[in-house]
Amino acid sequence: MLDLHGFGDQLLQGASITIQLALCSLAVGLVLGLLGASAKLSNIKPLQWIANFYTTIIRGVPELLTVLIIYFGATTVLMSIASVFGYEEYIEIGPFAAGVTALGLTFGAYATEVFRGALQAIPKGQHEAAIVLGMSSQRKFFRIILPQVWRVALPGIGNLFLVLLKDTALVSVVGLEDIMRKANVAVSNTKEPFLFYLVAAFMYLALTIVSMAVVHFLEKRASRGLSRG
Amino acid sequence: MELDFSVVIEYFPRLLTGTWMTIKLVLLSIVLGALVALPIALARISKNWFISGVPFAFIFFFRGTPLLVQIFLVYYGASQFEAVRESFMWPILREPFWCAIIAFTLNTSAYTAEIFRGAIQAIPEGEVEACKVIGMTKTQMYCRILLPRAFGIVLPAYGNEIILMLKASALASTITLLDLTGMARTIIARTYTPIEIFLAAGGIYLVISILVIYIFRLVEKRQNRYLGTLSIKVPDKG
């Protein structure tokens, strides 16, 4: 059988970090994506500019570079902001926070496009019907528009999550103790690179398969109101 | 916060050297990837389970695992085996450049194969029938109708894949290659100006992606030009 030289537990701990990172980045990214899509569809020009600038920049720069910029740059930026408020201590952000920021920003940029398409796919009649029923715009958004946007956007968001899951491996470059990093440690101790990187690969594959199953379940659930099926 | 962009100007020639390495990596992997992808796509379409099973597993593995793991598997993993180290392949597998090329090629070929498959399957059945009715041979049909048609369908998705490959090429820096990201990290180790240099590198990536998008738009316009004229020249009412 597979002999992991006692590094199995370590790898599982790494998997837990990887999952936490992916889920946190997902939450940040979904919020950014909804905000970005709303900004792009709003009538206010400066908001459109900001959203376009954000998606163009993030989608044109390698994810690894985003991670590196956030990790090494955030300290300087945060300290300069803090010094404005008279705080002069040294501030450092850890690899986890940097990873959530970088991957959340990346996910948000791609999700913006997905949500924009989904928001535009909601028929005008749905908006009108909600207004006719006397719903406030907030209530209309959360009760009528968002659940439908969710259904339309889910396949796209699911794909993005699979990409995000694989991108979490990049954060190991700045020292996060995820699957990749644990595998690196195991390799340097045992000198069996092929074995441990292959095990890591299959762990990611397993996470991918689970995610696909969850997305499939959510898609089914989100479209339960549809008659054709 | 004080940013000093004079370091960018000072080290710009070195960043360009890194850029050239990035371009070499991307071009080579894209071309090799497309060559590997075509037979995989054709095998994947097959209805025979034995023929389509292997490409399916290949595509699933390479699309389901991080590229970083794949690079490490090739670069560090291959050296674990005595047999590999003594084989004729070792001079190639020892070089980080060729390891990156192998990993990128396999990775992009898995994605490209799916794009090709989609394009071939998207050609309407009627066009195949039309070719037969006109009396074309199979070679004529493929060369004149099906492949150019698939090429037109494939273009937008393929352009995206090249940009993804460009961004993925940054991972080559993790196996000591001095591509654009690798070069930026080396410069930063000396100057300790991470924000300036990384922003400059990001800017260069952005310029290359915009160029790729622009070129693909031109080719797409040319390749699908019949679609544009169709709506103008053919009247709705016969």
Helix, strand or coil for residue A16?
helix
Residues of A in contact with B93 (CB under 8 A): none
pLDDT, residue A57, reads 92
* Containing structural domain, residue A144: 8-222
Burial of A5 (0-12, 13-18, 19+ CB in 10 A): exposed
Within a domain: residue A3? Answer: no
Q: What is the model's pTM?
A: 0.88
Residues of A in contact with B64 (CB under 8 A): 162, 166, 204-205, 208-209
Query: Given 3.40.50.1980, 1.10.287.70, 1.10.3720.10, 1.10.1060.10, which CATH number is that of B6-224?
Result: 1.10.3720.10
pLDDT tens per residue, range A35-49: 999 999 999 999 999
- Residue B1 is given by DSSP the state -
A-B contacts (CB, under 8 Å): 122
* Record: contact A201-B61, CB cut-off 8 A: yes
Helix or strand (DSSP H, E) at B89: none
Within a domain: residue A2? Answer: no
Query: What does each of the 229 residues of chain A score in pLDDT, given as a tens digit?
Result: 577 778 888 999 999 999 999 999 999 999 999 999 999 999 999 999 999 999 999 999 999 999 999 998 887 788 888 888 877 777 778 899 999 999 999 999 999 999 999 999 999 999 999 999 999 989 998 999 999 999 999 999 999 999 999 999 999 999 999 999 999 999 999 988 999 999 999 999 999 999 999 999 999 988 887 765 4
pLDDT tens per residue, range B62-114: 999 999 999 999 999 988 888 888 888 888 888 899 999 999 999 999 999 99
Distance CA B50, CA B55 (A): 10
Q: What is the DSSP string of A156-187?
A: HHHHHHHHHHHHGGGGGGGT--SHHHHHHHHH
Exposure b/e, B84-102, CB count within 10 A at least 16 = b:
eeeeeeeeebeebbbbbbb
Domain with A56 in it: what CATH number? Answer: 1.10.3720.10
- Residue A103 is given by DSSP the state H
Residue among B69, B174, B198 whose CB faces A69 most closely: B198
Within a domain: residue A162? Answer: yes
On whether the CB atoms of residues A8 and A151 are closer than 8 A, the answer is no
Sole residue written with tokens 């070679």: B139
A47 contacts chain B (CB < 8 A): no
* Record: contact B72-A197, CB cut-off 8 A: yes
Diameter over CA atoms, chain A: 69
Which residue of B lies nearest to A193 if distances are taken between CA atoms? B77
- Residue B34: both structure tokens together: 């497309």
Taking the CA of residue A177 and the nearest CA in chain B, the distance in Å comes to: 15
Domain segments of chain B as ranges? 6-224
pLDDT band, residue B21 (cuts 50/70/90): very high
pLDDT, residue B233, reads 43
pLDDT, residue A227, reads 65
- Residue B71: both structure tokens together: 């690079």
Residues of A in contact with B168 (CB under 8 A): 62
- Residue B17: both structure tokens together: 């050297």
On whether the CB atoms of residues A117 and A156 are closer than 8 A, the answer is yes
- ipTM, two decimals, is 0.88
Within a domain: residue A188? Answer: yes
Helix, strand or coil for residue A2?
coil
How many domains is chain A partitioned into structurally? 1
Distance CA A70, CA B5 (A): 18
Residue among A61, A73, A200 whose CB faces B69 most closely: A200
